[in-house]
């Protein structure tokens, strides 16, 4: 069960509990005043309470959804200068626009120039275009899907980003640390050979199939991180990613800041 369905279930349970408690209290009051009316009045009260609670909850959820859509639209507008001319599908599971904008602002503001990314996509090209605009830097991205790797490689060529972006095809293989499949260590080590220090580690892959699918990223790249390095874990509201953060905290001293102004969340992490 994903995190959104868990939230929905918890909300329904809360609504049901509120309706039950208020109805019970109402029934006892009417029973004390005039017993014959207690049952009928309690049923009517329960219906009214449920209708009101569901209406309020739906209205609140709708307002939050509209606020998120407006935020995403503003972010898309701000990101336009970095999208380039090459079409790359921007699917539902791509990083949310507001988080992308925040990430790019962080790179620019903090002077991050060496970026390592787990999972290539739109973010790869946007970061590459930003680094070109800034005149220096490089992003190294691991990608498990061979066909998607070909799409990204073609886009990099068409955008003229070869000096700023490297996407490596890294098939998934069994990983002893997580017990789940992670990127080929042979390929991942190629990044460590080229990037002595990593300013930003962006963990948005591989696909979160198992609980700790994304866990190996931080232990593997930790030796190349420095005091001011930033680790970003996308989709941080999901159950699997929350488990990854917990596991990271057990093996490393980390400081975690949850960025919650998005549907799927994002965690900004620094080594303690």
CATH number at residue 260: 3.40.50.150
pLDDT, mean over the chain: 85
Distance (Å) of CA 183 to CA 154, 165, 234: 21, 18, 17
Highest-confidence range of 33-47, 85-99, 149-163, by mean pLDDT?
149-163
87 and 195 in a single domain? The answer is: yes
The predicted structure's pLDDT at residue 124: 96
65 and 183 in a single domain? The answer is: no
Long-range CB contact pairs, 1-9, < 8 A, 24+: 1/239, 2/238, 2/239, 3/237, 3/238, 3/239, 3/242, 3/264, 4/263, 6/239
Give the pLDDT mean for 200-218.
94
Determine whether 223 is exposed, middle or buried from the number of CB atoms within 10 Å of its CB (0-12, 13-18, 19+). Answer: exposed
In which band, very low, low, confident or very high, does the pLDDT at 219 lie, cut at 50, 70 and 90?
Answer: very high
134 and 241 in a single domain? The answer is: yes
107 and 55 in a single domain? The answer is: no
Cis peptide, bond prior to residue 206, ω within 30 of zero: yes
Q: Which two tokens stand for residue 165?
A: 């972006």
Answering whether pTM is above 0.75, one says: no
How many beta carbons lie within 10 A of that of residue 230, not counting itself?
21
The predicted structure's pLDDT at residue 2: 43
In which band, very low, low, confident or very high, does the pLDDT at 7 lie, cut at 50, 70 and 90?
Answer: very low
Domain count of the chain?
2
Give the pLDDT mean for 220-225.
96
The predicted structure's pLDDT at residue 1: 43
Domain extent at residue 154 = 83-271
173 and 194 in a single domain? The answer is: yes
Which residue, of 78, 105, 123, is where some domain finishes? 78
In which band, very low, low, confident or very high, does the pLDDT at 75 lie, cut at 50, 70 and 90?
Answer: low
Which residue, of 33, 55, 78, is where some domain finishes? 78
């Amino acid at each position: 069960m994903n995190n959104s369905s868990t939230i929905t279930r918890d909300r329904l349970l809360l609504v049901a509990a509120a309706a039950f408690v208020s109805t019970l209290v109402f029934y006892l009051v009417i029973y004390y005043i005039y017993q014959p009316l207690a049952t009928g009045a309690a049923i009517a009260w329960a219906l009214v309470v449920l209708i009101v609670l569901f209406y309020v909850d739906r209205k609140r959820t709708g307002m939050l959804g509209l606020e998120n859509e407006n935020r995403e639209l503003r972010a898309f507008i701000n990101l336009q200068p970095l999208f380039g001319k090459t079409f790359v599908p921007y699917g539902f599971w791509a990083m949310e626009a507001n988080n992308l904008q925040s990430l790019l602002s962080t790179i620019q503001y903090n002077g991050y120039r060496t970026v390592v990314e787990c999972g290539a996509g739109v973010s790869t090209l946007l970061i590459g275009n930003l680094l070109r605009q800034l005149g220096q830097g490089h992003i190294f991205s691991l990608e498990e899907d061979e066909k998607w790797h070909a799409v990204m490689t073609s886009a990099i060529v068409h955008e003229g980003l070869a000096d700023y972006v490297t996407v490596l095809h890294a098939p998934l293989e069994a990983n002893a640390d997580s017990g789940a499949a992670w990127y080929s260590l042979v390929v991942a080590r190629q990044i460590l050979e080229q990037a002595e220090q990593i300013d930003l580690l962006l963990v948005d892959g591989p696909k979160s199939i198992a609980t700790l699918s994304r866990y190996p990223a931080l232990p593997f790249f930790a030796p190349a991180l420095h005091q001011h390095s930033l680790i970003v874990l996308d989709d941080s509201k999901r159950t699997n990613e929350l488990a990854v953060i917990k596991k990271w905290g057990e093996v490393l001293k980390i400081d975690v800041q949850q960025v919650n102004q998005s549907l799927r969340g994002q965690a900004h992490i620094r080594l303690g």
